A and B are shown apart, each in its own frame.
Chain A
Amino acid sequence: NAGVMQNPRHLVRRRGQEARLRCSPMKGHSHVYWYRQLPEEGLKFMVYLQKENIIDESGMPKERFSAEFPKEGPSILRIQQVVRGDSAAYFCASSPIGQMNTEAFFGQGTRLTVV
């Protein structure tokens, strides 16, 4: 049973380009969470999705960021018109249900560098 798969592992984008980060949850998991880790900081919650639904996006920047988790395929975190401040590690986690007594498993992250 493969773990949470994120790709790409490393992504370099020029300012103004778009970044697409993908997350395939563990088999049987229908809940996905995205976190961002800035250098020398802890992870910060961005968004929580179930299949085809955004449940909580309170941690998402209001502009340029969007997330989806379609019925088929991976969850996508999309960052439009990237700026240097978007450089960070983006982690996806998944769980079978969205309750606190169920551990969420993290992927290895996508490290985005904006040049």
Chain B
Amino acid sequence: QQQVKQSPQSLIVQKGGISIINCAYENTAFDYFPWYQQFPGKGPALLIAIRPDVSEKKEGRFTISFNKSAKQFSLHIMDSQPGDSATYFCAASISTGFQKLVFGTGTRLLVSP
């Protein structure tokens, strides 16, 4: 019940295309859903986050879509660029607590020029 399932494991998108990464969770107590971006040899960096009181959040080219009834959320990267090539992790936690994040297994994104 503490798992967050992430797919696909890897993704290749052409420059200018849309990258879509999906996550699903089971614990209905989760109410904070961040996405992290990790470049090789670096630590994860917070990209964008959403709470379940909204169905969508957009920051620049990055959009989170959230479906509370289906217990799913996804990251959309519009106009994908080679510089977006990285590993993306979804995560979930209970916001009344501290930063005890449950991470998905990651999606390795490659944006081809």
* Closest partner residue, chain B, to A100 (CB atom): B95
* Closest partner residue, chain A, to B43 (CB atom): A106
Partner of A43, one of B41, B45, B89: B89
B interface SS class: loop
Convert B27-58 into 0s and 1s, putting 1 for each residue whose CB lies closer than 8 angstroms to a CB of A: 00000100000000111111000000000000
Asked if B95 and A91 sit within 8 Å, CB to CB, the answer is: no
Query: How many Å lie between the Cα of A56 and that of B43 in the bound state?
Result: 22
Query: How many Å lie between the Cα of A40 and that of B103 in the bound state?
Result: 12
Query: How many Å lie between the Cα of A99 and that of B44 in the bound state?
Result: 19
Partner of B101, one of A4, A45, A107: A45
With A91-B43, A108-B41 as contacts: A42 and B100 at CB distance below 8 Å: no
Give the size of the chain B interface in residues (CB under 8 angstroms): 25
A-side residues, CB < 8 A to B, are 4, 31, 33, 35, 40-45, 48, 55-56, 91, 93, 95, 98-104, 106-109
Asked if A45 and B43 sit within 8 Å, CB to CB, the answer is: no
Which residues of chain B come closer than 8 Å to A48, judged between CB atoms? Answer: 98-100
B63 adjacent to chain A (CB < 8 Å): no
Query: How many Å lie between the Cα of A103 and that of B91 in the bound state?
Result: 13
* Closest partner residue, chain A, to B46 (CB atom): A103
Asked if A100 and B43 sit within 8 Å, CB to CB, the answer is: no
Asked if A42 and B6 sit within 8 Å, CB to CB, the answer is: yes
Query: How many Å lie between the Cα of A17 and that of B103 in the bound state?
Result: 30
With A40-B105, A42-B106 as contacts: A31 and B89 at CB distance below 8 Å: no
Which residues of chain B come closer than 8 Å to A103, judged between CB atoms? Answer: 46
B96 adjacent to chain A (CB < 8 Å): yes
Which residues of chain A come closer than 8 Å to B43, judged between CB atoms? Answer: 4, 91, 93, 106-109
Asked if A43 and B101 sit within 8 Å, CB to CB, the answer is: yes
Partner of A42, one of B42, B93, B105: B105
7 contacts across the A-B interface (CB closer than 8 A) = A33-B99, A35-B101, A43-B103, A45-B101, A98-B98, A106-B43, A106-B45
Query: How many Å lie between the Cα of A96 and that of B43 in the bound state?
Result: 18
